[in-house]
C-alpha cells in the first residue's frame, strides 16, 4: 500500500528548510506520511506560471489521500493549482493565506508588480471548493501582511474553509511571529 503524501508549499521569499517547515515535515513523517517541501523557483520574485509548473512537477498525479499545506503565497499556489486539476485531495491547510494583502506587505513598486498576476488571474472557487474533503484556513490576529477579517471571510465564503485564528503568531514565520512550530496544525493532519 502506498504511503499517504503531504506537501508543504512555502511562500514568497520562503525556503523549504525554514520557519515551521522542518518541524511539520518531521511530524508528518512520524504519522506515516511521505512528506516534502518542494523548493519553488525564484522565491524572491515568484512567477505564477513557474510555481504552478513546479507543483505539477513535484506532485505528479494527485491522490485522494494527499494533504496540501500552504504558507502565504503557497496557499495561492495550491488554490490555483487545484483550479487546473480534476482530482480531489483529502485536505488543504492554508496558513497565513490571502486573497488580498495589506499595503505593508507591498512597500516597493516591484512588490506590486510581483503580485499583479496573482491578484488579476481569476480563480474558479466553485470548482476548487469541491476538490478537497476539507479546507482549513489558519490566521494570526496580528499578521502585518494578511488582513484578518477580509481573508477569513473570503476563505470561509469561497472555499467553505474551517477558520482558525491563533493569537500573536504574526505571519507564521520565525522572523515575523517567532514561529517554528504550529501545534494546532496537528489537529488537522
CA distance linking residue 72 with residue 124, whole number of Å: 19
Q: How many CB atoms lie within 10 A of CB 135?
A: 26
Task: Find the mean pLDDT for residues 159-181.
Answer: 95
CA-nearest of 129, 186, 117, 189 to 155 is 129
Digit-coded pLDDT (tens) for 90-104: 999 999 999 999 999
Name the average pLDDT for the chain: 96
CA distance linking residue 151 with residue 139, whole number of Å: 9
What integer pLDDT is reported at residue 41 of this predicted model? 97
Residues paired with 7 in a beta bridge = 36, 68
Instruction: Tell me the whole-structure pTM to 2 decimals.
Output: 0.96
Number of domains in the chain: 1
CA-nearest of 52, 54, 29 to 39 is 54
What integer pLDDT is reported at residue 56 of this predicted model? 96
CA distance linking residue 76 with residue 51, whole number of Å: 10
What integer pLDDT is reported at residue 121 of this predicted model? 95
CA distance linking residue 43 with residue 66, whole number of Å: 24
Digit-coded pLDDT (tens) for 112-141: 999 999 999 999 999 999 999 999 999 999
Q: Check which CATH number belongs to the domain holding 67 and give it.
A: 3.40.50.1820
Which domain, by its residues, includes 67? 5-188
Amino acid at each position: 500500500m502506498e504511503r499517504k503524501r503531504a506537501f508543504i508549499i512555502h511562500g514568497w521569499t520562503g525556503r523549504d528548510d525554514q520557519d515551521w517547515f522542518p518541524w511539520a515535515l518531521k511530524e508528518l513523517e512520524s504519522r506515516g506520511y511521505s512528506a516534502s517541501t518542494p523548493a519553488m523557483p525564484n522565491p524572491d520574485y515568484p512567477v505564477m506560471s513557474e510555481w504552478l509548473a513546479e507543483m505539477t512537477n513535484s506532485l505528479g498525479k494527485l491522490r485522494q489521500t494527499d494533504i496540501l499545506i500552504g504558507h502565504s503565497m503557497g496557499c495561492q499556489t495550491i488554490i490555483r493549482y487545484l483550479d487546473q486539476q480534476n482530482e480531489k485531495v483529502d485536505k488543504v491547510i492554508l496558513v497565513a493565506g490571502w486573497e488580498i494583502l495589506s499595503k505593508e506587505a507591498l512597500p516597493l513598486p516591484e512588490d506590486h508588480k510581483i503580485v499583479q498576476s496573482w491578484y488579476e488571474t481569476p480563480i474558479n472557487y466553485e470548482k476548487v471548493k469541491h476538490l478537497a474533503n476539507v479546507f482549513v484556513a489558519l490566521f494570526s490576529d496580528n499578521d502585518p501582511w494578511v488582513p484578518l477579517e477580509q481573508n477569513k471571510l473570503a476563505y470561509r465564503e469561497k472555499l467553505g474553509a474551517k477558520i482558525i485564528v491563533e493569537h500573536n503568531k504574526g505571519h507564521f514565520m520565525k522572523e515575523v511571529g517567532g514561529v517554528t512550530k504550529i501545534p494546532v496544525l496537528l489537529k488537522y493532519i
